[in-house]
Amino acid sequence: MQTHIKVRGYHMDVYQHVNNARYLEFLEEARWEGLEKTTGFQWMTEHNIAFHRGEHQYQLSPPGGAWRPASH
């Protein structure tokens, strides 16, 4: 599943970076979009986010166009 989310001005903090809590909102948006596109259920049982670089206004999230599941 791929979801594109455009980073808007209201997603950013005073330093012009996306606030860490906003990433969870992006994941929630992707989950709802996925539920609308499928007939099955999707469950999030855990989330771990490793921040490699900041997002800036008007970038599409995620870089490269796909959220990748964390390897366990």
**Structural domain of residue 42, as residue ranges?**
5-46+54-65
Contact by Cβ (8 Å): 60, 5:
yes
Query: Which residues neighbour 12 within 8 Å (Cβ) at sequence distance 6 or greater?
Result: 18, 19, 56, 57
Instruction: For residue 26, give the CATH number of its domain.
Output: 3.10.129.10
- Residue 19 resides in a domain: yes
Q: Could you give the number of structural domains in the chain?
A: 1
User: Each residue of 11-58: pLDDT tens digit?
Assistant: 888 888 887 788 888 888 888 887 787 776 666 666 676 766 665 555
- Residue 40 resides in a domain: yes
**Which of 2, 4, 8, 13 is flagged as catalytic?**
13
70 noted as active-site residue: no
Q: Which has the closest alpha carbon to 1: 46, 31, 40, 44?
A: 31
Q: For residues 18-29, b (16+ Cβ closer than 10 Å) or e, as one string? A: beeebbeebbee
Rounded to two decimals, what is the model's pTM?
A: 0.55
